[in-house]
Amino acid sequence: MKFGTKAIHAGVEPDPTTGAIMTPIYQTSTYVQASPGDHKGYEYSRTQNPTRAALESSLAALENAKFGLCFSSGLGAIDAVIKMFRPGDEIISTNDLYGGTYRLFTKIFEQYGIKFTFVPMSEAASVEQHITDKTRLIWVETPTNPVMNIIDIEAVAKIAKKHNVLLGVDNTFSTPYLQTPMDLGADLVMHSVTKYLGGHSDVVMGALVTSSEELAKKLAFIQNSCGAVPGPQDCFLVLRGLKTLHIRMQRHCENGRKVAEYLKTNPAVDKLYWPGFETHVNHEVAARQMRDFGGMISFNLKTDTREAAFKILEKVRLFSLAESLGGVESLCGHPASMTHAAIPLNERQKTGVSDSLIRLSVGIEDVEDLIADLKQALS
Ligand SMILES: *Cc1c(COP(=O)(O)O)cnc(C)c1O
């Protein structure tokens, strides 16, 4: 089945009791048993829920994986991954990681004796030198936030396999429409479903997929033991969102390209970060592993000050100034004071997050209106 067909049909069967074409919201905490242990596969909604089960199989199908698990947030999903490991285990991660993931690793899991090494991965081969006999997992994000660094998933997967280390990929920015890490050798794929998969800025949710039965069992055990599961109403909303994922992504990509090309011609704009430009570092890797380049764009200003950026962010009318990304509406943000505020100035500047850097999540409105809005704000 091709992607759009899967987005609409995979994992979703007509409801067996009524034939309802849409998976009902099974708003129930428990299920009646005929005799102790004699049930229909569902016992308690932390463990299994039919609405969640439909979403979990749909997500697995879209990522070309066998098993899916949903969590109450993206960070809840990553939390479950790291709970597979023990004190003394080592994890290698991208250095320009999503801020919340960095906080989870360093402020929560380091206390329990898990060691994290944060390394630049633009040159995939350099990852190998950080592997020790205690390394258990390599954690990758690509494109990274907010300067869209591209990491070669297939090359990192080869290194991981050679050393018998797991590879997990946070695929939030790309979605399976653009990139399927399982096909490139990843063992696990994670999503902040909150973003493009939900797509309508109305749900917070996370997901993991894998094709390893052993990993799926371990993660389901953690999901049930720790309990960070989403409710059925939210699962329904995401099932609904997924049905237009391919169309939304197509438009995000078209609009992203046009906005990036427009910004290139604007004299106020200095550096522009969008993986579709041939001059973008690792553009050829992005062209190989992604089907298109997405709607996330960052840029800084020739006047590289916080004030200059704030002026623009206050002047935009269609772009809303807000955290998050991936919804149908266009958003803008200021990483230095929002998502990356906790990172010291010199560390920030090393990774390209200068004081004037602005990040756009280009939505699916008419692109002429989006460009007109940026034009008036930048003038
Ligand atoms: C938002 C985000 C997360 C965290 O997901 P939540 O749903 O907010 O918990 C993780 N990784 C990336 C890349 C994100 O953008």
Q: How far is CA 76 from CA 158, 172, 204, 299, in A?
A: 28, 14, 10, 30
Residue-wise pLDDT for 18-48, tens only, equals: 999 999 999 999 999 999 999 999 999 999 9
Q: Is 98 a catalytic residue?
A: yes
- Domain covering 245-378 in this structure, CATH number: 3.90.1150.10
Supply the DSSP string of 125-157, one letter for each residue: GGGGGG--TTEEEEEEESS-TTT-----HHHHH
Reply yes or no on whether the pLDDT at 372 is more than 90.
yes
Residues of the chain with CATH 3.90.1150.10: 245-378
What was the pLDDT predicted at 339?
83
Q: Is 170 a catalytic residue?
A: yes
Residue-wise pLDDT for 224-242, tens only, equals: 999 999 999 999 999 999 9
pLDDT, averaged across the chain: 96
Residue-wise pLDDT for 169-215, tens only, equals: 999 999 999 999 999 999 999 999 999 999 999 999 999 999 999 99
Tell how far the Cα of 371 is from the centroid of ligand 1, in angstroms.
27
Determine the atom of ligand 1 nearest the C-alpha atom of 194: 7
Q: How far is CA 127 from CA 138, 190, 239, in A?
A: 9, 20, 37
Mean pLDDT of 138-148: 96
What was the pLDDT predicted at 350?
80
Ligand 1 pocket test: which of 73, 149, 169, 192 has the largest number of ligand atoms within 8 Å of its C-beta? 192
Residues of the chain with CATH 3.40.640.10: 3-242
What was the pLDDT predicted at 209?
98
Question: Is the model more confident about 339 or about 317?
Answer: 317
Q: Is 46 a catalytic residue?
A: yes
Which pTM does this prediction carry?
Answer: 0.97
pLDDT band with cut points at 50, 70 and 90 for residue 256:
very high
Tell how far the Cα of 253 is from the centroid of ligand 1, in angstroms.
20
What was the pLDDT predicted at 327?
97
Residue-wise pLDDT for 69-107, tens only, equals: 999 999 999 999 999 999 999 999 999 899 899 999 999
Reply yes or no on whether the pLDDT at 343 is more than 90.
no
Reply yes or no on whether the pLDDT at 147 is more than 80.
yes
Q: Is the CB of 83 under 6 A from ligand 1?
A: no
Nearest CA among 4, 13, 5, 3 for reference residue 57: 13
Determine the atom of ligand 1 nearest the C-alpha atom of 101: 10
Say which of 79, 170, 187, 373 is annotated catalytic: 170
Query: Which class in CATH covers the domain with range 3-242?
Result: alpha beta
Reply yes or no on whether the pLDDT at 351 is more than 90.
no
Say which of 6, 195, 257, 359 is annotated catalytic: 195
- The residue whose CA has the least distance to atom 8 of ligand 1 is 74
pLDDT band with cut points at 50, 70 and 90 for residue 341:
confident
Mean pLDDT of 108-125: 96
Q: Is 31 a catalytic residue?
A: no
Q: Is the CB of 70 under 6 A from ligand 1?
A: no
Reply yes or no on whether the pLDDT at 342 is more than 80.
no
- The residue whose CA has the least distance to atom 2 of ligand 1 is 192
Q: State whether residue 14 is helix, strand or coil.
A: coil
Ligand 1 pocket test: which of 97, 98, 202 has the largest number of ligand atoms within 8 Å of its C-beta? 98
CA dist 56 and 191 (Å) reads 12
What was the pLDDT predicted at 345?
79
What was the pLDDT predicted at 346?
79
